[in-house]
Amino acid sequence: GAGVSQSPRYKVAKRGQDVALRCDPISGHVSLFWYQQALGQGPEFLTYFQNEAQLDKSGLPSDRFFAERPEGSVSTLKIQRTQQEDSAVYLCASSTKTSGRDHEQYFGPGTRLTVT
Amino acid sequence: DQQVKQNSPSLSVQEGRISILNCDYTNSMFDYFLWYKKYPAEGPTFLISISSIKDKNEDGRFTVFLNKSAKHLSLHIVPSQPGDSAVYFCAASDGAGNMLTFGGGTRLMVKP
């Protein structure tokens, strides 16, 4: 079956521009996560949705970062007024809940954002 | 403060031998642990997991060991194959079961 897809795969933005990154999770997956991966590091949690509800946004680094999942499927991560430190790979993951618990998360290929 | 650490940034192993990747954690609330494998330009792929109620989980060539008292887990790959060459990430979650906390990764190179 289809996995998690993300678009665009690569994005170059000039400092100060707004960007929007899209994630299509696995069909039927209740939970959706966004992670940020800097070069040479592990992914770091940004935010979590259960269906359309954003239940945790504790990892968003600033109020320039905003995420939504209005219909409980596709999600968009928006970064306003991009800065050079926003350059990273943005990973989306989805999972099913078993006994109220997310277990394995399935990741998309990521969007590599470069801010110049 | 890194709650999940992979202290070896890289590991080189001969084909057919055992690869052992290590991971340490500090948060005693973590109760579920996962290993992911990542190839360049791809997202992490789930490999194997273990709950804190177990100390070992095996899946084919892959075995994960958990030592709760030492807050240490390891991934054993036997026998190692050149296709196993990738970056391996250890990850953990707590009772809330939502976000994953990742280590920094270990690059495994399996030489033919």
Cβ of B45 within 8 Å of Cβ of A91? The answer is no
When pLDDT is cut at 50, 70 and 90, the band that residue A107 belongs to is very high
Weakly modelled stretches of chain B, pLDDT under 50: none
When pLDDT is cut at 50, 70 and 90, the band that residue A58 belongs to is very high
- Contact status of A56 with chain B (Cβ, < 8 Å): yes
User: Which chain B residue lies closest to A49 (C-alpha atoms)?
Assistant: B98
The domain of B15 spans 4-111
Mean pLDDT, all residues of chain A: 93
**The domain that contains B70 carries what CATH number?**
2.60.40.10
| Structural domains in chain B (count) | 1
Residues of B with Cβ-Cβ distance to A43 under 8 angstroms: 44, 89, 100, 102
Number of Cβ atoms within 10 Å of the Cβ of A103: 17
Whether A1 shows a pLDDT value over 60: the answer reads no
Structural domains for chain A: 5-115 (2.60.40.10)
Which pLDDT value is given to residue B2? Answer: 87
Q: How many CB pairs under 8 A join A and B?
A: 61
Cβ of A104 within 8 Å of Cβ of B101? The answer is no
DSSP A72-92: SS-EEEEESS--GGG-EEEEE
Q: Which run of H or E residues covers position A98?
A: strand A97-98
Which pLDDT value is given to residue B94? Answer: 87
Q: Which of B6, B99, B105 sits opposite A45 (nearest CB)?
A: B99
3-state SS record for chain B: CCCEECCCCEEEEECCCCEEEEEEECCCCEEEEEEEEECCCCCCEEEEEEECCCCEEEECCEEEEEECCCCEEEEEECCCCHHHCEEEEEEEEECCCCCCEECCCEEEEEEC
Cβ of A103 within 8 Å of Cβ of B103? The answer is no
What's the CA gap between B6 and A89, in Å, rounded?
20
